[in-house]
Amino acid sequence: MPKVAYHLYHPDALTSRVVFASPHSGRDYPWSFLRHTLLDEHAIRSSEDAYVDRLFECAPQFGAPFLKAGAPRAFIDLNRSADELDPALIEGVRRTGHNPRVASGLGVVPRVVANGRAIYRGKLPMAEADRRIAVYWRPYHAQLQKLLDRAHAQFGEAVLIDCHSMPHEAVDGIVRAGARRPDIVIGDRFGASAAPWVVDRIEAAFADAGLVVTRNAPFAGAYITQAYGRPLRNQHAIQIEIDRAIYMNEAEIRPNEDFHAFRRLLRGIIADIAAIGHRDQKLAAE
């Protein structure tokens, strides 16, 4: 079993209404898990948002908390609802309405990693799925809501930045001829999970640093933005996807020669985003 459900890094003083979180960067793959999989220690990491935690770990220096997963995505997917159980993997689960994520093997307990490679040889008992949800999924989400509630209580507003990475080829289908490839995809579920002024400010932070940004294509946000984005209640959730090729060798799953330079660039962006929460007045009034 992975050792902990999450790691939480607090600022010395909470000065921002922004909460940064990385639900897919967990990389604790215990032998008790690996010995039941069909994949080797390298292949099973292919769905991981590798090193995203290292990119965003400076957030507490700017007055914002940073929460990251303790368990890897291949073990439990924190960006899925607890009831997104895959009947092709979990014994006793009844097929209900069509859920494209579950159907593709990417439920709360994933059946596959990147490129549809199967994780297990057979099915898992329902008791195992329930245990993973109870020990890892529920504590992570309870802590995430606690951080948002704290920000809301102190500032009257909370902004969740849900931090992810995407394969370089993920945007191939949306790149227009002659246009630069997007480096960043911002997901706000087409306006449902965050107020426009929040998303505009976040997009500007990336664009002002020279990065190409697009919205909602091909990633508009999944369970976390859907569950936590409540702009009418002054709780906003925005998903950030970063092209992995910018900072890592995707095939070898290791930082590339540009990693440190990009992390320095991102540090300024994180400071800019965290500064959204440094205003005395509510941003919704701006």
226's CB contacts (< 8 A; 6+ apart) are 189, 192, 193
List residues bridging with 236 in a β-sheet.
Answer: 159
Find out whether the peptide bond into 218 is cis, omega within 30 degrees of 0: yes
CA distance linking residue 201 with residue 199, whole number of Å: 5
Distance of CA 84 to the CA centre of its chain: 17
Predicted pLDDT at 278: 58
Q: Coil, strand or helix: which one is 235? A: strand
Predicted pLDDT at 175: 78
What length does the chain have? Answer: 286
Write out the two tokens for 157: 């507003």
Runs of H (alpha helix) within 21-177 = 31-34, 52-56, 100-103, 126-132, 138-155
Walk along the chain (286 residues) in steps of 10 and give the mean pLDDT of each run: 97 97 97 94 96 98 98 98 96 85 95 95 96 98 98 97 96 80 96 96 97 95 97 97 97 97 98 77 43
Is residue 180 in some structural domain?
Answer: yes
Is residue 238 in some structural domain?
Answer: yes
CATH of the domain at 148: 3.40.630.40
Is residue 125 in some structural domain?
Answer: no
Range of the domain at 250: 6-74+136-277
Model confidence, pTM: 0.94
Is residue 122 in some structural domain?
Answer: no
Output DSSP code: residue 162.
E
Is residue 157 in some structural domain?
Answer: yes
Angstrom CA distances, 95 to 86, 101, 112, stand at 8, 13, 18
Please count the structural domains in the chain.
1
Predicted pLDDT at 286: 42
CA distance linking residue 61 with residue 120, whole number of Å: 41
Predicted pLDDT at 285: 41
Is residue 63 in some structural domain?
Answer: yes
Is residue 199 in some structural domain?
Answer: yes
Is residue 88 in some structural domain?
Answer: no
Predicted pLDDT at 179: 76
